[in-house]
Amino acid sequence: MRQAGRVVAEMHEVCAAAAVPGATTADLDRVAREVLEKRGARSNFLGYHGFPAVVCTSPNEVIVHGIPGDRVLSEGDIISIDCGAIIDGWHADAALTVPVGDIDELSRRLIDVTSASLDAAIDKVHADARLGDLGAACEAVVHAAGFSVVREYVGHGIGTAMHEDPEVPNYGRAGRGMRLRDGMVLAIEPMVNAGEAATRVLDDGWTVVTVDGSRSAHFEHSVAITEHGPEILTVP
Ligand code: MG
Ligand code: MG
């Protein structure tokens, strides 16, 4: 899973570099495919319930599951890039949101707060912690900033499949929920809206957007629970 995680981190790196004004979301999928090929990894996104790409590209008001295509990125956009990889049957999954050129102050803050909310959840990861500890920590950071946590989509366990039990909500109550154990791996993935939390799926059956049109950001890491604390697998 560490090897798969490193591939995902490299996919993020090339996608972030390709997210410039004038690029299309399909360009991001193309550079991500090159990394999978170069590293001998398979995609866990391509073909997942028929998903047609190796990355989800979710600009601005798109929360998650955007399909790469001919949408052109403009200066001032933000874009969430979510992708995964499989090495020898083991999965990794991670996401990040990056600016396209110069972005406004609200978008900058949305990205920073979402990233900080993931860090806050990861800080709670240790054997004997409860799932609710993670969600509560994440939610506290988001609410303090005046933003909303998406509730309909959550994180998950990950291993020999991309989506395993348990569900990992980005909200909750400390001290509640399943107890964590050494050896578990969780994909923790807060999705944060600048406006209201409500979500809607477009007619393509995939693209999830904010109902109020506000911008949304998404950060995710696959995190192992070890006797030494959390180990983030989806890093270079
Ligand atoms: Mg995930
Ligand atoms: Mg993901």
pLDDT digits (tens, 9 = 90+) for 2-17: 999 999 999 999 999 9
Residue 50 CA to ligand 2 centre (angstroms): 16
CA–CA dist 193, 210 (Å, integer): 7
Average pLDDT over residues 12-24: 98
Contact 186, 220 (CB under 8 A): no
What is the pLDDT confidence band of residue 169, given thresholds at 50, 70 and 90? very high
Structural domain boundaries, residue 170:
2-232
Counting ligands in written order, the one closest to the CA of 188 is: 1
Centre of ligand 1 to C-alpha 230, Å, is 17
Evaluate whether 220 touches 138 at the Cβ level (below 8 Å). no
Q: Point out which residues pair with 230 in neighbouring strands.
A: 225
CATH number for position 170: 3.90.230.10
Give residue-wise pLDDT tens across range 72-105.
999 999 999 999 999 999 999 999 999 999 999 9
How far apart are the C-alpha atoms of 150 and 220, rounded to whole Å? 14
* φ, ψ dihedrals at 68, nearest 5°: -60, 140
Distance in angstroms between the alpha carbons of the first and the last residue of the chain: 13
**How sure is the predictor about 160, in pLDDT bands with cuts at 50, 70 and 90?**
very high
How many A from CA of 14 to the centre of ligand 2? 16
* 48-59 average pLDDT score: 98
What is the reported pLDDT for 76? 98
73 Cα–ligand 2 center, Å: 21
User: What is the pLDDT averaged over residues 182-188?
Assistant: 97
Q: Count of alpha carbons within 13 Å of 207, Cβ hemisphere only?
A: 16
DSSP 48: G
- Distance of CA 221 from the midpoint of ligand 1 (Å): 8
Per-residue pLDDT at 96: 98
- Using alpha carbons, list the distances in angstroms from residue 13 to 18, 133, 162, 234, 236: 9, 30, 21, 12, 9
Q: Sheet of 155-157: strands edge to edge?
A: 164-168, 155-157, 185-188, 221-226, 229-232
Average pLDDT in the 176-183 region? 96
The rounded Å distance from CA 218 to ligand 2 centre is 9
Mean pLDDT of 154-177: 98
User: What pLDDT is attached to residue 206?
Assistant: 98
Query: How many structural domains comprise the chain?
Result: 1
Percent of the chain with pLDDT over 90: 99
Ligand 2 centroid–CA 83 distance in Å is 5
Ligand 2 center from residue 154 Cα (angstroms): 10
In this prediction, residue 208 carries a pLDDT of 98
CA of 38 to the centre of ligand 1 (A): 23
